[in-house]
Structure 1
Amino acid sequence: MLGRTKGRPRPMKVKKPFKPQKRKRDDVDVEKLQLAVSQLDTTTKYASFSDLPLSSQTAAGLESSHFSTLTDIQSQAIPAALQGRDILGAAKTGSGKTLAFVIPVLENLHRAQCVGADAGLGAMIISPTRELAIQIFEVLRKVGGKGHVFAAGLVIGGKGLREEQDALSRMNIVVCTPGRILQHLSQTATFNVDNLRMLVLDEADRIMDMGFQKDVDAIVEYLPKDRQTLLFSATQTKRVSDLSRLALKDPEYISVHQTATIATPQSLQQNYVLTPLPDKLDTLWSFLQSSKKSKILVFLSSGKQVRFVYETFRQMQPGIPLLHLHGRQKQTARLEITQRFSQAKHSCLFATDVVARGLDFPAVDWVIQVDCPEDADTYIHRVGRTARYEKAGRAVLFLDPIEEEGMLTRLEQKKVPIESINVRTKKQQSIRSQLQQMCLKDPTVKYLGQKAFTSYVRSLHVQKDKDVFQLDKYPLEEFAASLGLPGAPRIKFLKADAEEVKRRKNAPRMGRELEEAEDDDGEGKEKVRTKYDRMFERKNQDILADHYTRMVQEEDREGHSDDDDLDDGLLGVKRRVTAVDLSDEDDDAPSGEEDEEEEEKEKDAREVHITGMQNPLLVNSKRKENLLKSKKKLLKLKDKGSKVVFDEDGNAHEVNLLDSEADFRARGSAEEQKRRFLEAEEERVRRADVTDKALVKEKRKAKKERRREREREEVEGDEEVEGDEEVEGGDENDLMANFIADAEALEESEPRKKVKWFEEERAPRGEEVGREIETLDDLEAEAARLLG
């Protein structure tokens, strides 16, 4: 028997805590809640959440999150949504639209007991951006995390598809972006949406825009038609096309601020500054220097501009923490930057419109719009990042004088009050020289500046409102200089319309080269080269390749028209081949002194015959003299050759081309041509057969002659050998010669070991190397030695 152990017993394995499976709650009075919801009066304006028939779990979540008073949009939208109606909700930014659809989602699924994996997916909330989806999920988690047992998930990409696929089958509520959820709908077999009860679209005007139209249409095809749909946005319209695509049933349009005098919050102070495009970065830098103790959000039109401004300002150290956010960053970086800016007290965030909608950054003091927004709705969403929940905020818009009239008209139509302010010239600072120095020292900064320029110009080009954005009136050369660039990068659409580009693209190559030809006979004044010209002429020695040099505009050349730049666009890959003007005759005859110059040229002219040219080349200028040194240019002067092919025997002949149908029918019918062809081939084969037989006969005859000749030589050789044997007492020299020949033959027949360079040739063991045979005595001595 085993004895009992003394002291402490051996510790047992710790058991995992028991986690009960999520299931329907039996203690929920669903009938009582359902009755209270059906008795709600949607015309009554409720002031507090306690006035609404909400479950104890939702009430606890609202209390823990310090939500007690209903906003205007919440007091009108929540009662109607609780009763299962479709809603089109529009309200100002920062008015609490997120709670207006989060609470109905929790309550409707709670009353329907849509809990657990067996219940399937009950609600889908779609957001246009990842950051906004994360914010919605956080609100859902805070409000519903005090008693609700729903399985909610965030599906926005940035993680492995496999992880999301495993979790989707167990979700009751999903917060997602359009592209990622469509991918799961089409690829994840276990993702079932047949039991979907509610579809929510936040920032619906953006989702229903052209950017997400195809994705939304594809998503709706997967969803059941018997569902409740909620659409919320700061700017909403009653477009029939949107309603028909989403299959809304008698939607209730709720616009709490439709009768308001302004479309933006009352506590928001809005101003604009007339700033020419080349001075915008100087004004922005000066503003940051005077607002270092503020929280600032700066909007730019493209991600490449965000990168350039962030990198250059960071190197100049403005004295305020800088951050940048755009859509090309990875998901982890975007989340980290969003959290850092939310938690920061004093900071400046350079961003694109990816953060313009719905995001709630606490305590933003300033919203600066360096680039003009595409429309008034985008302006409203941008300035909505400040002055949230009736707090104070300020917004400043930088407008070029070209954009002023059109943009102010659009803002006035949307009921947006805005006032003009001026910049104090004493505090205005110029950073152009600093940007030039950075471009000179760092090729990466120079490359970012070129990309920022091109992306901004392209954003102007694609704008729909041409009354505001008139591309041909912007000072682009000065704008490029303000970025530190010595010249504006070439962009294809700046100097030609679509028809001209198409015409030049379809023109023959030689014709295009002749159009681009330039006359270099005249001697022009040499252009002064600056240090910036030399900077852009040298090769990049950093991480970048040669493609960035093609973005810089080349020096203007004499004789070039505006159409010369069509093929050298930003993305053009065609190589420019400079054509040479070879015309020797002018349309206009010279007169006066020009006649004398032409006579002197004709005296000095000479004709040069070049192989491959039918006519000689007249050389009457220095340019033509230099032309003779270039093989590449001389190829253009030579006659066009004909293509040849080689047969099996190596003979060259021209390529057989197909005849036209008329020529084919002129030679007769197909059957007749076939018969003639077969007869001709039969005759050719017969003649070739006769020739081949004669050739074989000659070869056999020659072979027989060679065999007879060989036999005759063998007989004569045997007779000579017999005659030599009959000779007795021959000459001593003949005997020695025969012996030497036999010895040499013996040496050749026996292979000898190769002697290395550091070894001496040695005789076999027990033998000595014989001396060189010179006389008959030496021969006899060598023979005696060999015979032993």
Structure 2
Amino acid sequence: MASAVHGRTRPAKPKKQERNQKRKRDDVDAEKLEEAVSELDLKATYASFTALPLSAPTTAGLKAANFTKLTDIQSKAIPLALKGHDILGAAKTGSGKTLAFLIPVLENLYRAQCVGADAGLGAMIISPTRELAIQIFEILRTIGRKGHMFAAGLVIGGKSLQEEQDALIRMNIVVCTPGRILQHLSQTAGFNVDNMKMLVLDEADRILDMGFKRDLDAIVDYLPPDRQTLLFSATQTKKVSDLARLSLRDPEYVAVHESAASATPKTLQQNYVITPLPDKLDTLWSFIQSSKKSKIMVFFSSGKQVRFVYESFRHMQPGIPLLHLHGRQKQAARLEITDKFSKAKASCLFATDVVARGLDFPAVDWVVQVDCPEDSDTYIHRVGRTARYERDGRAVLFLDPSEEEGMLERLEQKKVPIEKINVRTKKQQNIKEQMQNMCFQDPQLKYLGQKAFSTYVRSIHVQKDKDIFKLENYDLEGYASSLGLPGAPRIKFLKADADELKKRKNAPGEILSDSEGDAKGKKAVRTKTDRMFERQNQDVLAEHYAKMIRDDKDDVDINKLDGEQEADDDLFDVKRRIPADGSPNSDESDEEADALDAPKTVLIPGAKEALVIDSKRREKLLKSKKKLLKLKDKGTKLVFDEDGNAHQIYELENEDDFRARGEAEDQRKKFLEEEAERVRVADIDDKALAKEKRRAKKEKRKERDREANEENAVDEPNEDREDLMANFLADAQDVSEDDDDQSDDDESVPHKKQKKWFENDKAKERTEEKETEIETFDDLEAAAARLLG
């Protein structure tokens, strides 16, 4: 029978024919796999992936990715997950927890044939950070690309919501962050989770804490209760309340390293350094200078600190590539930075705890914690970025003297071995002056420093563990000075509890009359016009910047209902001037300042002589930074070498090295001889250059004369002989001048006078006759005859 006629000129390719097959695969022997899984011995120990009843696509994907041996957490968690048990998995950082839940997800959905858009969502994997979600998705794609037909997607935000909505209704496996997936659960109409079979929480303790509590509770309400739930983390939770929130059914607790001697890898060397708060940046800079060929991760407690230290150190050129990463950056920038740091051989990454969990950066040599972590779990996750997969690594923790006792006690409870080391004072560099200079020259950098200071102090204030973080024990003035700031910024903290704040909020208007209302207690109405005139430029020096440095003595604390304010309400209140009596808390009023009893002296940093304060005008002088600069000594200009070390622009040579080269008179003679030789060689070059210039001028003059002769040959053909003779005489004179090297001027060679545009032959003849000299009577008669005739 003849085949049907169609428009193809060639048969379809085999690959295109394969794509047209149904999403439901008929070659899957689900019953055989189910039988093999049911026969698994949970008490047995499995060493390789081939010993487990895995499907052919999963086995091919593991082989292509070079995964052959099972880690401890994988050998115990995967068989339980394949049988459908709920799991609480806890293992050290870098022990392979990601594969421990990805393989069961692929296998359970493969046996259930949860494929295609009609099957709906089969598994949801939730990660606390976008970077970790991207890493999980990449591993899932690597393992599942060898035959699995699931539709998997990444939902983390940073893209158009409409694009994610269109793709989400077709997904079988989704890797997501809590906030974004909750948005889709509540807004995407076609997103069906009724048939979802598996829920996975990576870094479960972080997701279950207060930061994601509301989001997770709302997500669980959308999910079906008869699902399998897997929780994995390096520091697993055991709270009954947390487990009840997730509706776990007889979960199996898998903690392979619970009986280990330490909670961190054996290949990790951990140390701590007692560093006072004002010296932390000096120690960090010195450490980076001594480790330029290493791959370093530096952790801070806030994003503002990360940005300020990055911008400051970048201007100082430490000699190693610097990167910074925090949660305020856009998604594209965060992906670019993580990719750069992963590929770099030597680099320094300043980061917050957004990269402290789960991320796998290859070959990290050092983990430096400048700010003390909030608890021991955060410490374990931070140091887990190095010494992964049995590699070597080192970690250093900077501790303020007030933090040492409490933090060491918490680490000891978690079985974290850590040793104390000291900083070599000879190698430690002081960068306080450089920081001050940069902040003085760049107002935006100074503003970043103020925000970094305030966010750090606020992070200490909100810490729960007050045995470690005691705000009154920190040298905050010294810390502000180390950031390059002229003084500690003004910060307020609310000390009232929730009941007092609620009472303040619901208080009648009469109480607010002094500061917010009119005489009758009614709050003033702000119109649209009022708001328009209150607008300011929204740059880095906007109103919120002025609030940090202003000094209002009449500010009313929100905690005081009676309008009074106690002296200790503010954490610190720094005046933007140098007090006349040298004390930071001077309560003299303006009237008392006018009548100073006796002159006082104030020593200004950088000035040789003390400033005498004998009048109110002299006292106001202290408030002007520009006028104070005139009283200070001029600074010395510095230059930086290739290693980033500062040197004076003019430095005297070492006397010993000078004497080692010989006597001063011999060195002087040698110098004169070398200079004479250099001048002689330069003179030869100058003469050759001058000769070349003269030759070029001569060629140009010949060319100009040749063009003039050609023009004259058209108008005056009878004067060719005269022109040739003039050219011959000119050339002869040029040759003689070139041989003698005595003239450089073009005027030394006679030029043939060219005929002007208004001249004719008769005028030329008359000119020649005038130039003819009359010597005899015959010449006179001949001239008269020419004139008459």
**TM-score, structure 2 length as denominator?**
0.65
Contact 1:488 1:552 in 2 (8 A): no
Change (3 A) 1:551 1:543: closer
Change (3 A) 1:569 1:422: closer
Change (3 A) 1:504 1:580: farther
Contact 2:493 2:570 in 1 (8 A): no
What amino acid is aligned across from residue 272 of structure 1 in structure 2? Answer: Y
2:32 maps to which residue?
A: 32
What is the CA distance between 1:12 and its match in structure 2? Answer: 11
User: SS state of the match for residue 150, structure 2?
Assistant: coil
1: CA distance, partners of 2:274 / 2:174? 45
2: CA distance, partners of 1:540 / 1:316? 30
Matched, 1:545 2:545: no
1:563 maps to which residue?
A: 566
1:304 maps to which residue?
A: 304
What is the CA distance between 1:565 and its match in structure 2? Answer: 8.1
The size of the alignment, in residue pairs, is 542
Contact 1:119 1:172 in 2 (8 A): yes
Contact 1:496 1:563 in 2 (8 A): no
Change (3 A) 1:555 1:334: same
Change (3 A) 1:479 1:580: closer
1:313 maps to which residue?
A: 313
1: CA distance, partners of 2:398 / 2:264? 18
What amino acid is aligned across from residue 542 of structure 2 in structure 1? Answer: A
User: SS state of the match for residue 411, structure 1?
Assistant: helix
Alignment of 1:743-762 (within 5 A): none
Q: Per-residue displacement from partner, 1:197-244 (whole Å, max 9, x unpaired)?
A: 100000000000011111111111111111110000000122100111
2:482 maps to which residue?
A: 482
Matched, 1:237 2:237: yes
1: CA distance, partners of 2:397 / 2:288? 15
2: CA distance, partners of 1:115 / 1:496? 56
Contact 1:22 1:149 in 2 (8 A): no
Matched, 1:167 2:167: yes
Alignment of 1:515-664 (within 5 A): 544-552=541-549, 554=551, 563=566
1: CA distance, partners of 2:472 / 2:588? 33
Alignment of 1:194-209 (within 5 A): 194-209=194-209
1:69 maps to which residue?
A: 69
Alignment of 1:85-484 (within 5 A): 85-484=85-484
2: CA distance, partners of 1:459 / 1:384? 23
Change (3 A) 1:269 1:114: same
Change (3 A) 1:222 1:511: closer
What is the CA distance between 1:504 and its match in structure 2? Answer: 11
Contact 1:436 1:484 in 2 (8 A): yes
2: CA distance, partners of 1:477 / 1:494? 21
What is the percentage of aligned positions where both structures have the same residue? 75
Q: Per-residue displacement from partner, 1:607-635 (whole Å, max 9, x unpaired)?
A: xxxxxxxxxxxxxxxx9xxxxxxxxxxxx
What amino acid is aligned across from residue 398 of structure 1 in structure 2? Answer: F
User: SS state of the match for residue 199, structure 1?
Assistant: strand
Change (3 A) 1:501 1:27: closer
2: CA distance, partners of 1:215 / 1:61? 34
User: SS state of the match for residue 117, structure 2?
Assistant: coil
Segments of structure 2 that go 5 or more residues without pairing to the other structure are 1-6, 517-535, 555-563, 574-586, 592-615, 617-789
Name which one, 1 or 2, has greater alpha-carbon Rg: 1
2:594 maps to which residue?
A: none
1: CA distance, partners of 2:214 / 2:391? 38
1: CA distance, partners of 2:544 / 2:193? 49
1: CA distance, partners of 2:333 / 2:360? 18
Contact 1:375 1:410 in 2 (8 A): yes
What is the CA distance between 1:546 and its match in structure 2? Answer: 4.9
2: CA distance, partners of 1:549 / 1:448? 13
Change (3 A) 1:581 1:330: closer
Contact 2:204 2:237 in 1 (8 A): no
Contact 1:58 1:106 in 2 (8 A): yes
1:534 maps to which residue?
A: none
Change (3 A) 1:547 1:170: closer
2: CA distance, partners of 1:412 / 1:39? 42
1: CA distance, partners of 2:76 / 2:247? 22
Q: Per-residue displacement from partner, 1:1-54 (whole Å, max 9, x unpaired)?
A: xxxxxxxx9999999956325512111111111111000011111000010010
2: CA distance, partners of 1:419 / 1:361? 25
2: CA distance, partners of 1:568 / 1:210? 27
1: CA distance, partners of 2:20 / 2:39? 35
What is the CA distance between 1:549 and its match in structure 2? Answer: 3.5
What amino acid is aligned across from residue 321 of structure 1 in structure 2? Answer: P
Q: Per-residue displacement from partner, 1:312-346 (whole Å, max 9, x unpaired)?
A: 00000000000000000000111110111001110
What is the CA distance between 1:552 and its match in structure 2? Answer: 2.6
What amino acid is aligned across from residue 409 of structure 1 in structure 2? Answer: E
What amino acid is aligned across from residue 150 of structure 1 in structure 2? Answer: F
What amino acid is aligned across from residue 75 of structure 1 in structure 2? Answer: S
What is the CA distance between 1:118 and its match in structure 2? Answer: 1.2
Contact 1:294 1:347 in 2 (8 A): yes
Contact 1:443 1:542 in 2 (8 A): no
Contact 1:204 1:233 in 2 (8 A): yes
What is the CA distance between 1:499 and its match in structure 2? Answer: 10
User: SS state of the match for residue 25, structure 1?
Assistant: coil
Change (3 A) 1:169 1:541: closer
What amino acid is aligned across from residue 211 of structure 1 in structure 2? Answer: G
1: CA distance, partners of 2:553 / 2:158? 48
Segments of structure 1 that go 5 or more residues without pairing to the other structure are 1-8, 514-538, 571-578, 584-622, 624-788
User: SS state of the match for residue 386, structure 1?
Assistant: coil
1: CA distance, partners of 2:238 / 2:512? 54
1:51 maps to which residue?
A: 51
1: CA distance, partners of 2:443 / 2:248? 55
What is the CA distance between 1:566 and its match in structure 2? Answer: 5.1
Alignment of 1:656-695 (within 5 A): none
User: SS state of the match for residue 349, structure 1?
Assistant: strand
Contact 2:493 2:571 in 1 (8 A): no
What is the CA distance between 1:564 and its match in structure 2? Answer: 5.5
What amino acid is aligned across from residue 483 of structure 1 in structure 2? Answer: L
Q: Per-residue displacement from partner, 1:103-124 (whole Å, max 9, x unpaired)?
A: 0000001111111111111100
1:79 maps to which residue?
A: 79
What amino acid is aligned across from residue 280 of structure 1 in structure 2? Answer: K
What amino acid is aligned across from residue 214 of structure 1 in structure 2? Answer: R
Contact 2:491 2:570 in 1 (8 A): no
What amino acid is aligned across from residue 164 of structure 1 in structure 2? Answer: E
What amino acid is aligned across from residue 544 of structure 1 in structure 2? Answer: L
What amino acid is aligned across from residue 402 of structure 1 in structure 2? Answer: S
RMSD over aligned CA atoms reads 3.4
2: CA distance, partners of 1:407 / 1:251? 32
Change (3 A) 1:21 1:195: farther
What amino acid is aligned across from residue 260 of structure 1 in structure 2? Answer: A
Change (3 A) 1:565 1:448: farther
What amino acid is aligned across from residue 332 of structure 1 in structure 2? Answer: A
